[in-house]
A = this chain, B = another copy of it.
Amino acid sequence: MKNLIIASTSTLHGGGYLDYLLPELEAFFKDCNTILFIPYARPGGISHDDYTGRVKSAFANINKKVRGLHEFDSPKEAIENAEAIFTGGGNTFLLVSQLYKNKVMDILANAVKSGIPYLGTSAGSNITGLSMQTTNDMPIVYPPSFQTLGLMPFNLNPHYLDADLQSKHMGETRETRIKEFHQFNNIPVLGLREGSWLEVNGEKITLKGDLQARLFLHNQEPKELETGSDLSGLK
């Protein structure tokens, strides 16, 4: 039975890494001693070791051990044998490229479908959808495919940002970009604001946190969903 926490961001403004989620994570990971961390997205180009170190410090607060996927000779076996998995944020193009290069995209999907608890933040959340095509990231590397884990029947836009009506900048708003996506794709997109997360239990998907999320459906006006909304029926 699937068991996921899919967060828009790892960090809220003014807070420490994972701080706002720790109470939730303590309950979520209560049956695990060691979490397997996938550091492939390398935010700001940080090394796998340094990124894993940052995650170790955060999880020490709730007495969990952390090991980086890059420390294992066989990423496949490391994932299949994990008690729990966390994929951190960074660059989604890099993350997806590395998952394919190490031949673990399907392995990871199957591991989570089999019930290994999975935490994603930002890029690590993006990949739980059908494709990475609603990422905000820069295409710094060329992945062999945009298809991702497909653990939910829709796509995410993490760090969802409302248009700044005072701005004089003429670049596209996030909403415009998602509407462009819907010119060529008909799967739903959930804009998940910083501080929101999804809780997935089996096939039940619930919006958590204090904020609303913005739902974009093909050929429909976007709508705001209240926290607590059940997203299981989305397709």
Q: Chain A: residues with CB nearer than 8 A to chain B?
A: 9, 11-14, 42-45, 90-91, 93-94, 132-142, 145-146, 159, 161, 168-172, 176-185, 194
Contacts and interface: CB of A to CB of B under 8 A. Distances in A.
Contact of A169 (B42, B93, B159, B180): B159
Contacts of A177: 137-138, 140
Contacts of A140: 133, 177, 180-181, 183-185
Contacts of A159: 169-171
Contact of A184 (B13, B94, B135, B161): B94
Nearest to A15: B170
A139 B145 contact: no
A19 to B, nearest CB: 12
Contacts of A45: 179-180, 182-183
Nearest to A193: B169
B139 A170 contact: no
A185 B179 CA distance: 31
B146 A170 contact: no
Contacts of A13: 168-170
A161 B171 contact: yes
